Structure formats: structure tokens, C-alpha cells
Amino acid sequence: MAIAVLGGAGYIGSHTVYELIDRGFDVVVIDNLQTGHREAVHEKAIFYEGDIRDAKFLDEVFHKEKIEAVIHFAANSLVGESMTNPLKYYDNNVYGTKVLLESMVKNGINKIVFSSTAAVYGEPERIPILETDRTVPTNTYGETKLAMEKMFRWVDLAHGVKYVSLRYFNACGAHISGKIGEAHNPETHLIPLVLQVPLHKRECIKIFGEDYDTKDGTCVRDYIHVTDLADAHILAVKYLMDGNESNVFNLGNGVGFTVKEVIASAEKVTGEEISAQTDVRRAGDPAQLVASSEKAKSVLGWKPKFDDLDKIVETAWNWHKNARY
């Protein structure tokens, strides 16, 4: 029996495939390669190029391969783009998940672990954020992820498809081998953009707002290493295999860093001065997002290994210096 990883050529998906294969799982990757990279797919995984909205294609793969559980990363995830093109997000994220669930029910697959996001909370009511806190997304991306979470709940009640929804905070870093890492086009995430300065691909980093109510005026985020996220997916699959009920977990380190602290860390790691310019606030950015991940620690037994920002940035730097894609 294999684990099907949908979106396994993307950033977090490809890292999860590496960890699954390291632990002896058989892996089937499905990806339409619209934002994923063929080179990021582990050579030991079986690869199918196709779109989750294509019901016939999914049925064929699920019929041919013996799939025990699905890990679902196949979604669009750019907050800014989701505000200018909301229907793209409803189509790929919400409609795509509806087609996927139909095919799972039809083919008797009843376990799914899926990528949710801190964006489901919107402006947090308190820090650190608990899973039970209010969910009022401030962007379409978060709204579609929340709609997906709700769809899973009703489908579980009707058809017994058990799910684990993992709400990531700020995914970052790269595989320690340096073989795979973060590569978005266009890049919008802070750490890869900061590292483009010492790589001479960018003159300076723009800081989106220095007038927030935080210790240095810049936004605070909870940066969590991609391999720690990958570990959590495997624990979540095992949790479902053990016959547990559907559940939702935050995944973060529980420590917040400001934008300026991230830049300082990148200066330390690269040994280069990184020039920064103040810019206006980016629409929809909450001042602080920090997770309480106590539930994932106690229920799943999750223990993030990268709890030091410099170490996380070091893995990202190691990848970006020699990025293969």
C-alpha cells in the first residue's frame, strides 16, 4: 500500500515525499507541475503528471495504485494573487478538493492529511493562537482553505473519510541535503527574498511596514522548518492509520520573529550586509501570527527539530546558493 502525495513536486510536498521515502513508505506523487518542479520529485516515487480537477485521471490513478492514504498539498497558496484572482482559488482549491473527495469515496480511500494555513484565523484574537480560536480569514486564500476544512468535516460525517487538517504558520528552510528547497515563481516569501540580496539577484529587501505594534515595529511571524512540517504529516498519517478521529492541528515553533530579526539572521548566516528599505504595509498582513502547537505535540507526539532561526536560515541559504530549479 502506498501514500499518494498530491502536489508532491511543490515546496512542502517534495520535502514530505523525501521523509516518507526515508521511512520506507511507498509513494505515488500526483502533480500538474503548474507551480511544482519535476526535479523536486524523489527518484524513488512513482510520478503521475495530472490535475486533481480531472476526475477521470484521478480515478485511473486511484484504481491502478493501491493507496492507503492521501496527503493533499495540491493548491494555490499566494495570498496576494488570491485577492486579485479569487475564482482561481475557488476553482483549484475548493472545486479541486471536491473532485478529489469524490474520487476517494468512489475508490474506497478513507484517510487524508491536508495543508491548511494560519490564514484561516485572519486577525488573531490572541497570541499564541489555539486551534479553537475564531476563524475569520482576511484573504481569499485563507477562506478557500477554511472551506476545504469544512468540506472534509461533512464528508467525514457522510462517508467516513477521516482527515487531519494541518494549519501551518510560516514554512521555511530547505532539506539538509541541499537537493530540494523553496522555489516559487514569482517569489513573495520573506526568507528567499532576503537571501536574493547577498546572491546579487536583488538590490535590497523592502520591509512592509515599520509602524506595527511590535517590539521593532515590523511584523512578527512563527517560522517553522519545512522538514519539521514534513514530519508532522507522517505523524498525522500514522494517527489516522491507528484508527483515530478526524482532527485539526496548528504547526509552528511557538516563537515569533520580526522581519528585522529575520534580516539580521540572514546577515549572520551569509556574512553579508543586507540592505533594507522601509515600504508601506502590505494589505491583509496581521501584526503578529504565532502558533500554539501544544496540541500537535501532545496528540501526535510532534517535536520540531529546528527551533533556532539561524539554523533554519542556514538550510535555506545552503539551498539558494546552489539551487537546481
Nearest approach, Cβ of residue 144 and ligand UFG (Å): 11
Nearest approach, Cβ of residue 189 and ligand UFG (Å): 4
283-312: which residues touch ligand UFG (CB under 6 A)?
A: 285, 289
Nearest approach, Cβ of residue 70 and ligand UFG (Å): 21
Q: Which residue is nearest to ligand UFG (CB)?
A: 219
155-194: which residues touch ligand UFG (CB under 6 A)?
A: 170, 188-190, 193
Is 48 labeled as catalytic in the residue annotation? no
141 binds ligand UFG (CB under 6 A): yes
Distances (CA, A) of 113 to 140, 211, 282: 21, 38, 31
Residue 199 and residue 118: Cα distance in Å, rounded? 30
Instruction: Please identify, using beta-carbon distances, which residue of 6 and 58 lies nearer to ligand UFG.
Output: 6
Segments of the chain assigned E as strands:
2-6, 26-31, 46-49, 67-72, 111-117, 162-168, 170-172, 205-208, 220-221, 223-225, 247-251, 257-258, 276-279, 288-289
The distance in angstroms from the start CA to the end CA of the chain is 31
Instruction: Please identify, using beta-carbon distances, which residue of 79 and 155 lies nearer to ligand UFG.
Output: 79
Cell representation of residue 48: 503521475
CB atoms within 10 A of CB 65: 17
Nearest approach, Cβ of residue 201 and ligand UFG (Å): 13
44 binds ligand UFG (CB under 6 A): no
Contact between residue 71 and residue 3 where contact means Cβ atoms under 8 Å apart: yes
**Which of 18, 48, 141, 212 does the annotation list as catalytic?**
141
282 binds ligand UFG (CB under 6 A): yes
251 binds ligand UFG (CB under 6 A): no
Residue 37 and residue 182: Cα distance in Å, rounded? 10
89 binds ligand UFG (CB under 6 A): no
What number of chain residues touch ligand UFG (CB under 6 A)? 21
Contact region for ligand UFG (CB under 6 A) — 4-12, 91-99, 111-119, 152-160? 111-119
20 binds ligand UFG (CB under 6 A): no
Residue 40 and residue 181: Cα distance in Å, rounded? 8
Nearest approach, Cβ of residue 281 and ligand UFG (Å): 8
Instruction: Please identify, using beta-carbon distances, which residue of 277 and 298 lies nearer to ligand UFG.
Output: 277
Instruction: Please identify, using beta-carbon distances, which residue of 17 and 119 lies nearer to ligand UFG.
Output: 119
User: Which residue's entry shows cell 526535479?
Assistant: 39
Nearest approach, Cβ of residue 122 and ligand UFG (Å): 9
Residue 87 and residue 249: Cα distance in Å, rounded? 27
Q: Which residues contact 301 (CB under 8 A, 6 or more apart)?
A: 235
Question: 76 phi and psi, to 5 degrees?
Answer: -90, 145
Active site residues per annotation:
141
> Interface with ligand UFG by CB under 6 A: which residues?
77, 79, 117-119, 141, 170, 188-190, 193, 205-208, 219, 221, 259, 282, 285, 289
